[in-house]
Every structure is written in structure tokens, then in C-alpha cells.
């Protein structure tokens, strides 16, 4: 299990949540001054989700944000000026004005994949990053977020199916903010918890209070560690609330007033401030120091963005193709000899345990899931060599699997006792 958070880590979580909120608050003002190009999407009330989950990742790990995961970008190391310049379509933005909002990435340093507006597509993509990282021996974990709305897409299910069948070290945070634009969850998905869908993929899941940043962090940390140990993928559903409309233009009149009130009383930052005070992790002086730092940083970053130019028109026609502008080289963290002949050579045939029969002792299709690891390692594998990346003769892994087997319930999602509210 993961270590309890240190004082500094507790303060980090506050810093990033407050930075997230203040940054977006400034962008609302910029929007009203017509300085934001296009739409503005708020993550007000969801800061605990972005910050808590991304904080569980290491520097080497990869993530892909959604539009409301500004906090995750900040945690991963993106400076606020990048968020400002992106929204203002400035030439100094990470995409040089080619795209806006959280739609940018960084392959080399921060390991961030840019989202697209079509939801769900990042799930197979981050599954691929996870598979690729394992292949290269990088021991990375990947993470992305999907809303309650996006969990209805085909890409969501195709991606999860592949991730589960590959046991990819991939964490999916289902950010249930109750609304897909104007449609409530109950009209989209007829299950109690979105995390229940994990059962269908034979993977483990967790349901946590998304407005409790420590709970989100703790669940994410466990999921990341499980994935890194080869027991991925994992789903975490966080229950939270979108406290604004879909975007600035939307007054969200379809949301019951009482619902806003309910969640306002559970604001993640106010709750966390109380928690820090009650647990004597900080005092008023520390808070005002952090708040002043945020104010100062945002002043500087916002000024940089406002002073930056728009991109020159002639750059519109550039950059469609990579014509040698990028040197593409994989970073190998394992000997290449392991993946090249003769060591890579395999027996090209399948073995099907119990022949898929209904009445056989093991039952079902013989697939191994992370929720129900194989009982005996002497059982015939259902693929020529599994687990990928660990080698067929990795005794340590097999021992781990055996040790873990009796602790888990077959075909039952594991929900965390951290579940609150609702």
C-alpha cells in the first residue's frame, strides 16, 4: 500500500487545486473581456478529481487530459501560461495557436497526449502507450479521464476491451460529473455505478468521492501501483459535480437548484481547507503564503499570455506532415535481444483451457482477468506467451499471481469503502 501523504504533499494538493480554480476564475474574466478565442469550459467543483488523480502519477508516467482536467495538466508540470495562451490562441501557446483549451501535449518531457473533442478515443490511445511502454521496458503507467457522457462511446468500450485483454498498465478515471452537456447520468447509463462496467471487462474498479482530494489520490495511487505491478488495467469512478454549464454559453438551467446547493456544500477546496486546519497540517499563515504565491504566479503568467502575439497567418499552411522535423527514437529500457529472434520466437498455436465449455470445472472461456487471476500457473495459457513484457519464465510474476489469487473474488467489482455521499 501507498505511504500516507507528507505535509508538503498535502500542501501541494491544496496549491494545485487552488491554482486550478484561480486560473479558471481569471479565464472567466478574460472570456468576458473577449480575450478568450472560442468556448471556455469550467472544471469548477471538479478540481479534486484532476489534482488528486494526476498527483498519483510519476514523472515518467503518461497522461491524456480531457477538457476539464486543467488541474491534472498543472500537476504534471504544465505552467499556467500554457493554459492562458492556449485559450487565447497565442503564437506562444504549446500548439502555436493551432488548437485551443487543454488540447495540447508534450511527448518528450511531460509525457502528455493531447485530447481530441471526440470522446473515448484517448482510451485506446493510452492503452497503446501503456502497451508500448511495457514493450520497451519503461515500467510506465498511463492515465486518462472520461466523463459519464463519454462512457457511452464505442471507443470507450473498444479501448477497455483491448486494455483488459492486454492487461495494460492503464488507469481510467471515470469522472462522473452527473451531466453529459444537458443529459443526466440516469438517462445515459442504466447502472448504479459507472465503475460496474469493469465487471464486463474482468478488471477491478473503485468508486470514490471525487470532491475528497485525498480519497481520489489514495485510490489513484493504489491503481497506479497495481498497474505498475502488472495487474492493470484499473477503473476509478469518481462522483463529482459540474458546477457550471457545459461551457460559458450554457446557464445550466436544466440542473435542479437543490443539486447545485447539495454539491456546493461539498466543495472540494473548502472541504480540504477544513481538513488541513482540523488536522493541524497548516495554519492561516501558510494558507496566505500559498495564496499569495498563486496570485503572483498567475499575474506573471497571464501578463505573458496577454502580451503574446497571435500566430502569423502564413503558419496556417505549415506542419501538416513531419518531414524530418522530428527525430523519432524509442527509449529502450530493456535489451533489444529479448524482442528479437531467436529469443522472441514463439510457438504459433493457441491452447484453449476447458475448451470454453459451460459445464467444465473452470467454466467459461478460460480468459484470465485481473479481477480473477488464473488459479494455477500450470494451467495452459490462452495465448502463446503471457504476460507480455514479463517474459514467459518470469517466476517472480507467477509467484505473485499465485499469492494474490485467493484474495480476490471472481467477477465482482471491488468498490472502495471510501465511497461517500450519494
Partner 1 sequence: MATTAAAAAAQVTMLEAIRQAMFEEMDRDPSVVALGEDIGVYGGAFKVTEGLLARFGPERVIDTPIAETAIVGAACGMSFLGLRPVAEMQFIDFIACCFNQVTNFAAKSHYLWGAPVPLVLRGPSGGGVRGGPFHSANPEMYFVHTPGLKIIYPSTPYDAKGLLKSAIRDNNPVLFFEHKFLYRRIKEELPKDDYTVEIGKAAVRRPGRDLTIVSYAAMVHTSLEAAEQLAKEGIDAEVIDLRTLLPLDKEAIFASVKKTNKLLVVHEDTKTGGIAGEIAALVFEGAFEDLDGPVARVAALDTPVPYAPTLEEAFLPNTEKVVAAARELAKY
Chain residues that interact with partner 1, rule: CB under 8 A: 62, 94-95, 98-99, 103-105, 107, 113-114, 116-118, 121-133, 135-136, 138, 142, 154-155, 158-159, 161-162, 165-166, 319-324, 326, 328-331, 336, 339-341, 344-350, 383-386, 388-389
CB 224 → partner 1: shortest distance, Å?
17
Closest CA to 242 of 390, 392, 64, 50: 50
Q: Note if the bond before 256 is cis, omega within 30 degrees.
A: no
Q: Is there a contact between 338 and 392 (Cβ–Cβ < 8 Å)?
A: no
Taken as a whole, the chain contains a residue count of 422
What are the residues whose beta carbons fall under 8 Å from the beta carbon of 375, sequence distance 6 or more? 362, 405
Q: What is the residue-wise DSSP string for 33-89?
A: TT-S-S-----TT-HHHHHHHHTTS-TT-EEE--TT-HHHHHHHT--HHHHHHHHTT
Q: Grid coordinates representing 7?
A: 505535509
CB 79 → partner 1: shortest distance, Å?
16
CB 198 → partner 1: shortest distance, Å?
17
> Smaller CB distance to partner 1: residue 118 or 403?
118
> Smaller CB distance to partner 1: residue 85 or 95?
95
> Smaller CB distance to partner 1: residue 45 or 97?
97
Residue 384 CA to residue 72 CA, distance in Å, equals 38
> Smaller CB distance to partner 1: residue 18 or 85?
85
CB 389 → partner 1: shortest distance, Å?
7
> Smaller CB distance to partner 1: residue 56 or 160?
160
Q: What are phi and psi of 35, to 5 degrees?
A: -100, -10
How would you class 27 by CB atoms within 10 Å of its CB: exposed for 0-12, middle for 13-18, buried for 19 or more? Answer: buried
> Smaller CB distance to partner 1: residue 210 or 233?
233
CB 200 → partner 1: shortest distance, Å?
13
> Smaller CB distance to partner 1: residue 135 or 304?
135
CB 194 → partner 1: shortest distance, Å?
19
What are the residues whose beta carbons fall under 8 Å from the beta carbon of 339, sequence distance 6 or more? 135
> Smaller CB distance to partner 1: residue 155 or 259?
155
CB 231 → partner 1: shortest distance, Å?
18
CB 339 → partner 1: shortest distance, Å?
5
Q: What is the residue-wise DSSP string for 376-388?
A: -TTSPPSSSS-ST
| E runs forming strands in 228-361 | 234-239
Q: Grid coordinates representing 11?
A: 500542501
Amino acid at each position: 500500500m501507498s505511504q500516507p501523504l507528507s505535509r508538503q504533499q498535502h500542501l501541494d494538493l491544496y496549491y494545485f487545486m487552488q491554482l486550478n480554480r484561480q486560473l479558471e476564475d481569471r479565464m472567466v474574466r478574460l472570456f468576458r473581456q473577449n480575450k478568450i478565442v472560442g468556448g471556455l469550459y469550467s472544471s469548477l467543483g471538479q478540481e479534486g478529481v484532476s489534482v488528486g488523480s494526476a498527483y498519483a502519477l510519476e514523472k515518467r508516467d503518461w497522461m491524456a487530459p480531457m477538457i476539464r482536467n486543467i488541474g491534472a495538466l498543472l500537476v504534471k508540470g504544465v505552467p499556467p501560461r500554457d493554459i492562458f495562451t492556449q485559450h487565447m490562441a497565442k503564437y506562444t501557446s504549446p500548439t502555436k495557436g493551432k488548437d485551443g483549451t487543454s488540447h495540447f501535449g508534450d511527448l518528450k518531457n511531460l509525457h502528455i497526449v493531447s485530447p481530441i473533442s471526440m470522446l473515448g478515443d484517448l482510451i485506446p490511445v493510452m492503452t497503446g502507450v501503456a502497451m508500448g511502454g511495457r514493450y520497451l521496458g519503461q515500467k510506465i503507467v498511463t492515465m486518462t479521464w472520461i466523463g459519464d457522457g463519454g462512457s457511452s462511446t464505442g471507443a470507450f468500450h473498444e479501448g477497455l476491451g483491448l486494455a483488459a485483454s492486454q492487461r495494460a498498465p492503464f488507469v481510467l478515471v471515470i469522472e462522473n460529473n452527473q451531466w453529459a452537456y444537458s443529459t443526466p447520468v440516469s438517462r445515459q447509463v442504466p447502472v448504479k455505478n459507472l465503475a460496474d462496467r469493469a465487471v464486463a471487462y474482468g478488471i477491478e474498479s473503485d468508486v470514490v468521492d471525487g470532491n475528497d482530494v485525498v480519497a481520489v489520490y489514495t485510490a489513484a495511487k493504489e491503481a497506479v501501483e497495481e498497474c505498475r505491478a502488472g495487474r492493470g488495467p484499473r477503473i476509478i469512478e469518481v462522483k463529482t459535480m459540474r458546477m457550471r454549464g457545459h461551457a460559458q454559453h450554457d446557464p445550466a438551467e436544466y440542473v435542479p437548484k437543490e443539486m447545485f446547493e447539495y454539491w456546493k456544500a461539498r466543495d472540494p477546496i473548502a472541504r480540504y481547507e477544513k481538513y488541513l486546519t482540523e488536522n493541524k497540517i497548516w495554519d492561516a499563515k501558510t494558507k496566505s503564503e500559498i495564496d499569495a504565491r498563486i496570485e503572483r504566479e498567475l499575474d506573471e503568467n497571464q501578463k505573458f499570455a496577454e502580451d503574446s502575439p497571435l500566430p502569423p497567418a502564413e503558419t496556417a499552411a505549415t506542419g501538416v506532415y513531419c518531414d524530418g522535423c522530428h527525430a523519432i527514437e524509442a527509449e529502450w529500457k530493456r535489451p533489444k535481444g529479448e524482442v528479437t529472434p531467436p529469443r522472441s520466437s514463439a510457438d504459433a498455436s493457441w491452447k484453449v483451457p476447458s475448451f470454453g465449455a459451460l459445464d467444465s470445472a473452470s467454466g467459461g472461456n478460460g480468459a484470465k482477468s485481473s479481477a480473477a487471476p488464473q488459479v494455477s500457473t500450470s494451467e495452459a495459457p490462452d495465448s502463446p506467451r503471457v504476460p507480455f513484457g514479463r517474459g514467459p519464465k518470469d517466476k517472480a510474476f507467477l509467484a505473485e499471481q499465485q499469492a494474490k489469487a485467493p484474495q480476490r473474488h471472481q467477477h465482482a467489482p471491488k468498490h472502495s469503502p471510501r465511497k461517500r455521499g450519494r
